[in-house]
Structures are given as structure tokens and as C-alpha cells.
Structure 1
């Protein structure tokens, strides 16, 4: 199933022709793109177990996981096929998310399931692989990673490294070659800053690039552990409906008055909308975006 991006924001009236051309180009690209959601099959589950991607102790079983396949643009501009495994409740939004990354020509170096790396996150990062599910503990310890629930996505680890410096200890950068990308401005191709809003619009309201310690530029997750555990404990259809309401609430807040966004614009308690001088090249209102994410994430 191929889906268009869930949210297309209209430009100023003077750009109508440009918008139509862009939409036609986008429709052409998306119609030719491959995207699909399928449950993790028993054979795939057995392979995941054999390759140490999931164990019987994992907080989410294979029966609640979906494999999302999609096309993406690589750093040479070629179209490639990739896949991630995620919690079934978030799979439709993840499919749409990667569709929007394709539409924006945001490059990914690769997107292979963790079976290809025997569940080794270090190897996956070293290969600059974008991924989601991995039944592993948090980096640095402290319980299950959000990846073990299929509720987190890492993109382009090389361009978006994990950075930790606790106390007087030496700085740790993963993957080590990511040290070349610690300077975040000016933006370079594949950096997560360019697509934070895309992830937010699809319910991934936590970005590790905004953390203080550690900083995890590659990492996006949907919300708190309690919310994720709740989604995993609900029946599939109910969990999906709850996540869709979560996404819709964020969009109502972050994009007040935009046609196509479900809900009533200007809901009580929502931050005020940003004003514009009518030029649709105006910088995105990241303050409103981040306020809404902070207020609505569960």
C-alpha cells in the first residue's frame, strides 16, 4: 500500500502554480514508489530469534510487530528499497513518514532490519543503517530500550551520532566516525534537524537531539515508556486508534487552521499560531512545534 504524506501545508497564494506542479511531481513519485505493511511472519520471527534480535524476554512479542517496507533516496540520489520493524500500532504512520522522506528527497544511507547485523547495534551504526526494532537494553544500561518495543527509529547514525560525556569521563561518540558531524551547523545532507517536523507530524514526538546527556541525534521515539507500554498492552485495533488520536492532537496544535488537519483549529490551551509576512519561504516555527510536542507527548 502506498500512502501520500499525511500533511501538506499550503504555501502563499502567489505560489499556486508551483504548488500544483510540486503536487503532481509528488503524486508521480509516490505512485511509482513501493511501500507495504505486513505482520512479522513466523519464519521472520524465527530468524529474528536466531539472529538475537528478539528473545522470549522481550517486552513485545513478534505477534505485535509489523514490517514496513518502503522506497528511499540514497546519498547518490538513487531510489533504494528498505524496511524497518515497528510496533503494529504505529506502522501506518511509519509508512507515511518514510513516504514523506522520499517525497522530500531526504537521503538515507541504508535501511535494513537488525537481523542483517545479528542484533548488534554497534555494527548497524557503523554501517550508517537506519533502523527501528531491536530487542536490546538502553545504551548505557537501565532497562529495555524503546527500540525493544518497536516505538523508536534511528536515522543515519553517521550524520547523527550518539554523544555521551558523563562527568569527567572522555566523550563517547557512536559510531566513532560520527565525530565528523558534531558541528551541527550549517546543516549537511542526512542530518536529522531537517526532518524533525516530519517525525513529529507522524507521532514521534521525542527527538534525542534535544537531550542534554546523552545527546542522540539519530534517535526518535513516540513518547514515555508508560504510553508505549500501554499501546503494547492494548488490542491491536484499539492501540492503533489511540496512537492516531495522539498524532491528530499534535497536528491540531502545531498546524492550527491548516486545511486537512483533523480537529478544530485554535483549541483551548493550544499555543498561539505563528504569524507570517506572506512569504512561504519563512522559516518554520520550531518554537510552536516544540511547544506542542512537549505539551502533548505522553
Structure 2
């Protein structure tokens, strides 16, 4: 099968996207970054249908070009991504993918506590609130703690020894590591965030 070549672009957030973020509560006054510090990153990615698609992420301006390089590497690795459109992440809830398997970045919110905890917030900003984190295929790469996840649909993917399409691979980890980003699947202790990559590793 012939694949389209990889393309990427970076641009300031268009006015309709800013409006979408504010209307959906994904950005609000008090967030640790301003809308002017964010960028719209468009990249080619391989879908689970083995075809090339154009995906979009909202990321921190200083991470945009490095992340374009990461997604170029993932594309060359034939690493499949399920959903990566802006409306998949920021559109009206009824229009988002039913499987919620959306690869995304910016979301002005607190860090999510471990599934070991019953809490809903940590009191500290998530790296997503800075646009300096990317969650990849959340269904195949769950956030797990104490043998449980907040999404029961992810349970088949708790066993990381049995690889299936969309699960993070060593080469995918190296792609993010090439720009200095760490992986939540490498955290010590009982909590692992297999979908999560960030500039700090947290």
C-alpha cells in the first residue's frame, strides 16, 4: 500500500479555535498559559485503517516544532493513532468519538489523581494545562493504579506484555525521548500512565 508523505504545519490559534476552547471550558482566565502561547499543530498520522490522515493538536508554542518531529518519526514507524481531530477533543460531547480514544494535548485542568485514589483533583496543574503533554491512544494505553482504571473499557490493555496495535512501543517512547520528553508508563510505584508523555515526565 502506498502512503502519502508526511506533512506538518504550525500556526497561531485561529479565532474560531480560541472561541471553541473558551466555550468548552478547555481554556479560561487563570490558566497557566495564554491563548497566544499556544499553537495549532497539524501532522500526518497513520490510522488504524493503515491510511494517512491529517490530525491536529493544540500545544505550547515552544513544543510545536519538536512535536512535529516526533510525529514524523511515529508516522515512519507505522504507529497507528485512532482519533486526532480538534473536534474529537474539543467539540460538543455528543459529536466526540464514542470510544473516547482521542490523542490530544492542551487542556487547562488539574493533574488527575491516581486510580488508587478516590479524589478528582490534585490541586496542581497538569502538564496538559501548559500544552506540554500528549496523551496517545488512551484506550490502548490506560492510566492504571492499584490494578484498576477509571475506564473499565481499558482493562484488556492492562497486560502490557501482549502487544496490540495502538499500544505504546519502545520505539514510540524513543521518539518522544528524542526531544527530552518522559513517559508516564515509566513512573515508579503502582501508578502508570501509559498514554502520557510530557516535557517533565510528569
TM-score by length of 1: 0.58
**Superimposed CA distance per residue, residues 117-149 of structure 1 (whole angstroms, 9 cap, x where no aligned partner):** 56xxxx779421111001111112221111000
Q: How does 1:123-272 map to 2 (within 5 A)?
A: 126-140=99-113, 141-142=121-122, 143-165=124-146, 171-194=147-170, 195-204=172-181, 206-211=182-187, 212-223=189-200
Whichever structure has more helix as a proportion of its residues is 1
Q: Which has the larger radius of gyration?
A: 1
Please state if 1:58 is matched with 2:34: no
Q: Whose strand fraction is larger, Structure 1's or Structure 2's? A: 2
RMSD between superposed Cα atoms in Å: 2.1
Cα deviations by residue, 1:174-228 (Å, 9 ceiling, x for unpaired): 4321100111113222111331001101221x21101124210000011178xxx
Aligned length: 187
Of 80, 91, 94 in structure 2, the residue corresponding to residue 116 of structure 1 is: 91
Unaligned runs of 5+ in 1: 1-27, 166-170, 226-298
Q: Write out aligned runs for 1:95-106 (5 A).
A: 95-106=68-79
> 2:116 maps to what in 1?
none
Structure ranking higher on relative contact order (CA contacts 8 Å, 6+ apart): 2
Q: Following the alignment from structure 1 to structure 2, what is the Cα–Cα distance between the partners of residues 58 and 124?
A: 26
Deviations 1:85-129 (A, max 9, x none): 1100010011111111111110001113331256xxxx7794211
Preserved contact between residue 184 and residue 201 of structure 2 (Cα < 8 Å):
no
Choose from 1, 5, 8 the match for 1:35.
8
Distance 1:116 1:145, change over 3 A: same
Asked if structure 2 preserves the Cα contact closer than 8 Å seen for 1:70 and 1:98, the reply is yes
Gaps of 5+ in 2: 114-120
Shift of 1:151: 0.4
Greater mean alpha carbon deviation, residues 151-160 or residues 179-188: 179-188
Shift, 1:29, TM fit: 5.6
Contact 2:145 2:192 in 1 (8 A): yes
Query: What is the CA–CA distance in structure 2 between the aligned matches of 1:67 and 1:130, rounded to whole Å?
Result: 14
Q: Tell me, what secondary structure is at the counterpart of 1:99? A: helix
